[in-house]
Amino acid sequence: MSTAVVLGASMGGLLAARALAGLHDEVVVLDRDALPPGPDHRRGVPQGRHFHTLLPRGVQALDAMFPGLSERLVEEGSPRADFAGAHLVLGGHEFARADVGVPAVQVPRPVLERAVRERVADLPGVEVRTGCEAVGLVSERGRVTGARVVRDGVERVLAADLVVDATGRGGRAATWLGALGHPAPVEERIEVDAAYVSRLVRLTEPFPDHLVLVGPAPARPTGFALAKHGGDRWMLTAVGVGGVHPPVDERGHLEFVRRAAPPSVFRAIESASPLTEPLLHRFPTSLRRRYERLRDFPLGLLVFGDALCSFNPIYGQGMTVAALEAEALRRCLRAGEGDLAGRFFRAAARIVDPVWLLNALGDLALPQVAGHRSPSTRLLNRYVARVQRAAAHDPRVARMFIRVTGLLDPPTALFRPDVAARVAVGRSRRA
Ligand SMILES: Cc1cc2nc3c(=O)[nH]c(=O)nc-3n(C[C@H](O)[C@H](O)[C@H](O)COP(=O)(O)OP(=O)(O)OC[C@H]3O[C@@H](n4cnc5c(N)ncnc54)[C@H](O)[C@@H]3O)c2cc1C
């Protein structure tokens, strides 16, 4: 009888459990929160109160793991979303409307997490336990053999053949490794100094799109998202990076949004009825832990999701990357036990690498974000700015940019000759 224990039952932990199901006799997913039966917010996922989107690649991956999931979410009231119905302003350019070919669902974060949790809990051999706080690991002869878990004030050891740390960016696997005599991984950071201030509103007039997304740009490191949440409820999230943070008071929040909003969009926002108070979430740094570089790592342990890499949320990638890591984990598990951690961390690094690179480019394009800009960073960012300019009038360039940032295609797709030619034509037209 083999047992896997997943620490953390947010999107990362649930997707890891999906990968483990059927390959271990028993999979226990535990969380220190009391997990709500409905699609409600909880303490361990404060980011769930802010705008969340599942990128097209994430929709594909989740539908493959949980057949019919996105259809079901639409039936239950989440709007079906495609990019032709999204008003995107990226790098200061309003993009031409483009359909990327993958139907998406604009689902509030607690609704998505609840739906995935229900599916995972229904898998044979999987059990989700609440109110259990992981406080450490136990090991024997260089192998992790379980987790130390506190429930109702009592600490017990939960024995396991495999422990997966999915406790988010605050995850303490690195510290726990130290206590067992192993080195901690190197950490890389990008000091994005970002903040979100979000509230739910009710739009009082019909609105043509399901999403308005205005990203930070070099001339103005602020933006916002206005996203349909079902019915006439919309999530309004103001965002600022490089220390330029949205105010939390009502007037200041509205004024901050006004500065970034197209006038027609702002008219709808201004006349909307607020449903909740503006709420702040700060995000000082993107953080990547390089577990794949460790030579001395115990058997029986993996680290997953935000605990491996926590991305700047403005690009909306965390859940999609967790889904891709789950696909990779299942492949690694199927290939056998040998060097499982090494193979999984290398596979996860191959998923994270291009995403981390894209983010670093996007962040460092903003003069307000601290960090070293190498000549190649500057060169690449000049090209990306041209792509965004061309995307304003060329739906095919817009489509490719959205496919790359939606993780459907690799960043190299932006340099394909057909795309580069269109970008060059756009440039000479303007000249
Ligand atoms: C403001 C914001 C907006 C975001 N927007 C998007 C978006 O649009 N799209 C997207 O894909 N991603 C987005 N993300 C990222 C996304 O939320 C995460 O990538 C995703 O939740 C997966 O993370 P995780 O499960 O690894 O960790 P988390 O979601 O942080 O979950 C960690 C879990 O572990 C539990 N836990 C913590 N410590 C312990 C312990 N000691 N014992 C037991 N349980 C514990 C917590 O209760 C929690 O349930 C955003 C993030 C932020 C901050």
Residue minimizing CA distance to atom 11 of ligand 1: 319
Q: 108 C-alpha vs ligand 1 centroid, how far in Å?
A: 14
Residue in 242, 241, 268, 244 with CA at minimum distance from that of residue 254: 268
Q: How far is ligand 1, taken at its centre, from the CA of residue 313, in Å? A: 11
Per-residue pLDDT of 183-204, as tens digits, reads: 999 999 999 999 999 999 999 9
Quote the pLDDT of residue 428: 57
Closest ligand 1 atom number to CA of residue 132: 43
53 in contact with ligand 1, CB cutoff 6 A: yes
* Predicted local confidence at residue 302, as pLDDT: 98
Contacts of 345 (CB under 8 A, 6+ apart): 291, 292, 294, 297, 302, 303, 308
Q: Which of 57, 133, 167, when mutated, tests ligand 1's pocket best, judged by the most ligand atoms within 8 Å of its CB? A: 167
| Mean pLDDT score, 93-121 | 94
What pLDDT does residue 81 have?
85
Tell me the pLDDT tens digit for each residue of 132-155: 999 999 999 989 999 999 999 999
Q: Average pLDDT of 327-353?
A: 97
154-170 confidence digits (pLDDT tens): 999 999 999 999 999 99
Instruction: State the distance from the centre of ligand 1 to the C-alpha of 46, rounded, in angstroms.
Output: 8
Any atom of ligand 1 within 6 Å of the Cβ of 47? yes
Q: Which atom of ligand 1 is nearest to the CA of 11?
A: 25
Phi then psi dihedrals of residue 89, to 5 deg:
-125, 105
Q: What would the pLDDT profile of 15-24 be if each residue is shown by its tens digit?
A: 999 999 999 9
User: Ligand 1, from 50, 52, 128: best to mutate by most atoms within 8 Å of Cβ?
Assistant: 52
Query: Is 406 touching ligand 1 by the criterion CB < 6 Å?
Result: no
Largest CA distance in the chain: 71
Which atom of ligand 1 is nearest the CA belonging to 9?
49
Ligand 1 in contact with 44 (CB < 6 A)? yes
In tens, the pLDDT along 415-431 reads: 999 999 999 986 656 55
Q: Which pLDDT score, from 0 to 100, does residue 427 have?
A: 60
Residue type, 398: A
Residue boundaries of the structural domains of the chain: 3-45+108-188+288-353, 194-283, 363-430
State if residue 313 touches ligand 1 by the CB under 6 angstroms criterion.
yes
CATH of domain 3-45+108-188+288-353: 3.50.50.60
Please report the pLDDT score of residue 11 as a whole number. Answer: 98
For a pLDDT cut of 70, what percent of the chain falls above it?
99
Lowest-pLDDT range of 27-31, 287-291, 299-303, 422-426: 422-426
Strands (E), 203-267: 211-214, 222-228, 233-240
**Which atom number of ligand 1 is nearest to the Cα of residue 305?**
26
For 341-364, what is the mean pLDDT? 97
Determine the Cα–Cα distance for residues 72 and 67; give it in Å rounded to an integer. 9
Residue-wise pLDDT for 47-103, tens only, equals: 999 999 999 999 999 999 999 999 999 999 998 888 889 999 999 999 999 989 887
Q: In the predicted model, what is the mean pLDDT of the chain?
A: 95
> Quick one: pLDDT at residue 425?
83
Percent of the chain at pLDDT above 90? 92
What pLDDT sits at residue 103? Answer: 78
Can you tell me which atom of ligand 1 is nearest the CA of 33? Answer: 47
| 281 alpha carbon, distance to own chain's centre | 15
Atom of ligand 1 nearest to the CA of 318: 19
Is 70 exceeded by the pLDDT of residue 115? yes
CA distances from 215 to 93, 156, 221, 315, 368 (A): 9, 47, 8, 9, 14
Q: Is the pLDDT of residue 179 over 70?
A: yes
Which class is 194-283 in CATH?
alpha beta
